[in-house]
Structure 1
């Protein structure tokens, strides 16, 4: 089925870009931790044991648990607290980033380049929560950081278009991927000139502004339709 290019789709590109920025912040200012790539963390969690790198395996397992925890908590909040705010997950992501920034400032200060592991755990939690921003019939309809699945669907859409389908069979998936990629590129450029704490704070501010827009305007406007 082709993805319609509507306000929900456009919002998903913005949030995918935010996920890309967060992934870049964690990767470039840490020991290469993944907060968006749970496939990689799963492999690290098990392969680290075979490479005599128990610390790598444990760290990856903790990030996996934090990511899933973000999904679970955001889903519970969506069911019980955010009944009229379908994109309320951005609020939980903002709280997670605030916690990450505060912990990083306490542990390393304002000018340190690297972000220690504990703040990264909070970022992974926030990314997990962010991925519940788009739900239909109780299931995630637009996974923001699941780039592999997005590219698979884009490839299938391209095939349908070549076989007589429509441009929208794949364009929406391409733009979702492009949003994530653009966020990663922006995050990469920013990481060159700022410290880890500064980048976390910047990402927190952007996420807070996005959460305010979605919570107080976008969701309310959607309910009126």
Structure 2
């Protein structure tokens, strides 16, 4: 059923949503609770820190939001000018950002000590922003990998159509699997955090991302998805 009703791009998005979940767990579990995928939360924190007399909360949240935005803009520019025929080139940016975050934490920020400081987490947020531009259609993001709020809204709408008789299971199953992929990735990241801390958590996240990059390039090559 899945093979017949979902194309290769959609199935690949479930894998990359799991990567986004893993990166979210890597940043959250071993830092001071920084969000690298939840920009709604960061936008709220940036404002509410002013009212709670917590300037660092506002500053860090705004920095994460801007870093994520920078990743989106940089990847979008690269999609347009550097790799117009390589729709999944954003993964290279994500992998490079994670490797750089690992090196920055190891060489400049004190190594494996916890919690992870903000600077390497900003690089992770940049990488997640780039990752979200992986799937484009007519120049716009068609599958936002870490925007789980939107995924849950579409999941709910699909369920309503199905139970009302106006749709089928396929109106919601794809969104459910995208959501499941993200949650599974967060679970994997949480498991990794139990035995890999600080810089080593970033190392593990980098390895996962590099493997996902190679998998993606091999996956799209086998299926001729380059456009």
Q: Shorter-chain TM-score: which interval?
A: over 0.9
Mapped partners of 2:112, 2:55: distance in 1:
30
Q: 2:186 aligns with which of 174, 184, 187?
A: 184
In 2, are the aligned partners of 1:84 and 1:219 still within 8 Å (CA)?
no
Between the two proteins, the alignment pairs up a number of residues equal to 222
**Residue segments in structure 1 that go unaligned for 5+ positions in a row:** none
How far off its partner does 1:219 sit?
A: 4.8
Alpha-carbon separation, structure 2, partners of 1:22 and 1:80 = 27
RMSD between superposed Cα atoms in Å = 1.6
Structure 2 CA distance for aligned equivalents of residues 8 and 39 of structure 1? 26
Aligned to 1:62: 63
Q: TM-score by structure 1 length?
A: 0.94
1:124-203 aligned at under 5 Å gives the runs 124-164=125-165, 165-203=167-205
Distance in 2 between residues matched to 1:62 and 1:38, nearest whole Å: 11
For 2:220 and 2:174, how far apart are their aligned partners in 1?
20
* Partner-residue secondary structure (3-state), 2:144: coil
Distance in structure 1 (CA, Å) of the matches to 2:113 and 2:39: 27
Q: After the TM superposition, which residues 93-112 of structure 1 pair with which residues of structure 2 at under 5 Å, given as runs?
A: 93-112=94-113
Aligned partner of 2:43 in structure 1 is: 42
Between the aligned partners of 2:221 and 2:81, the Cα distance in structure 1 is 16
Does the CA contact (< 8 Å) of 1:85 and 1:215 recur in 2?
Answer: no
Alpha-carbon distance in 1 for matches of 2:155, 2:129 = 23
Does structure 1 conserve the Cα–Cα contact (< 8 Å) formed by 2:157 and 2:172? Answer: yes
Quote how far apart the aligned CAs of 1:110 are: 4.7
Asked if 2 retains the 8 angstrom alpha-carbon contact of 1:131 and 1:143, the reply is: yes
